Amino acid sequence: MLVLAGCSVGAPLEGGEREDPAEDRLGWEDGYWYNDSVDVTFDDGLNESERRRVVARTMARVEQLRGLEFESRVPVEVISRQEYRQQRSDGASDPGSEFNRWNDQVWEAIFIVGEDENVSETLDSVFSSSVQGYYSPSKDEIVLVSNSETPTIDRTTLSHELVHALQDQHFGLGTNPETQDAQLAEDGLVEGDANFVEEAYERRCRSEWSCLERPERGGGGGGPFNRGLFTTIFAPYAAGPGFVGDLKERGGWEAVNEAYDRYPASTEQVIHPDRYPDDRPVRITLNDRSAAGWERFDVDPAYDTVGEASIYAMFWANDQLGDHPQYDYDHPFSTGWDGDRVVPYENDGEYGYVWRSEWDSPGEAREFVAAYRDLLRSRDAKARDGGVFVIPESDPYADAFRVSRSGATVTIVNAPTARELDDVHEPR
């Protein structure tokens, strides 16, 4: 048995519960104050009553740190890693669907998921092995994923997911931004807020709070791990806390709360908080100039925006950044982004795309082009006239590329062969 000592406010009633105060107060939830002790046994996992105590005190601590009151209790379920993988498998979409084939081209454009893979299965592999828990806005519940044979709770995962429940109760979650960059940008606030509180929670555990010991995290397993895809989707967790911290310095928690009415417009704003909220990305125009049977996918919208975080991940995953820290996301090759649009094309089982990006200055566009060409050369691409490069067939990104720059605008056209580049997008 593990009994954690703590400074209690008021004497517990039988069973560890107390009557609610006359008025609900920050730091009090379901019979526990934020600095109470809890009596639980970890040897055989946590039974229902023990889990309730742990959740109640953690809710009290989260609202004490975040400055917001929970409006209702949050159900918490613990499932095994195997159960979680089965849930993902049961809900998996068809890799050959129109959307997934379109999405494959978007991720291929940033050299993260090659032609020998598909995005839906690669995402499933990454999430199945890395997710520790999640909050479901539609069900208003938290699910924690345990690597142990007995159900255990990681205090950091629980505190993180409880912040999401708190966000949903006060601001509403579950929106669906149209583009990859907009999704990551919105998550920069949502996950940044949760990670900011989680980090504060852990600091208290190291100094003034008695906390539950964290269970050992076994390896998630699950097959090959795509580090570029993980670097992309981890951007909100890594860059988001700095963004939230900057907002809090500007105007306290109220400034963070107000941001839920005006989410960051791009990952650029999350990575560089000084650009929030005024420096919004430019709108990219990319007219259809295809011919000879090439056409855009029947999805809405027919384009995607990958953004600064994904461009950074592209260079990092392809070993173009030297010893630059993986989760820094601020690098000259990607900084200066001002907007982009990727439009995938198909033609009877063949695929290509047009990727246009705008940069803050011609110099930054020139720097991006130089780094991108170096990436192509790292895959043994052979240069031809007219800014054309061809990656050999042995490579998972074997294709032809035309790279051009006009001032601060960069246009990249991709096709299976060099002679098909003009059919995908005629140059002018």
pTM of the predicted model over 0.85: yes
In angstroms, the Cα distances linking 210 to 44, 57, 70, 205 are 21, 11, 22, 6
The pLDDT value recorded for residue 365 is 98
pLDDT over threshold 60, residue 57: yes
Distance CA(332)–CA(336), nearest Å, equals: 8
Query: What average pLDDT is seen over the chain?
Result: 91
Peptide linkage before 177 cis (omega within 30 of 0): no
CB 177 within 8 A of CB 236: no
Each residue of 120-133: pLDDT tens digit? 999 999 999 899 99
- φ, ψ dihedrals at 318, nearest 5°: -105, 20
Element (H, E) at 307: helix 307-317
Beta strand 337-347 pairing with 350-359: antiparallel
The pLDDT value recorded for residue 91 is 87
The CATH number given to 295-424 is: 3.40.1000
pLDDT band at 167 (very low <50, low <70, confident <90, very high): very high
Nearest one of 200, 193, 278, 275 to 240, comparing CA atoms: 193
Each residue of 388-427: pLDDT tens digit? 999 999 999 999 999 999 999 999 999 999 999 999 999 9
Q: Domain spans of the chain?
A: 1-67, 295-424
Residue 375: strand, helix, or coil: helix
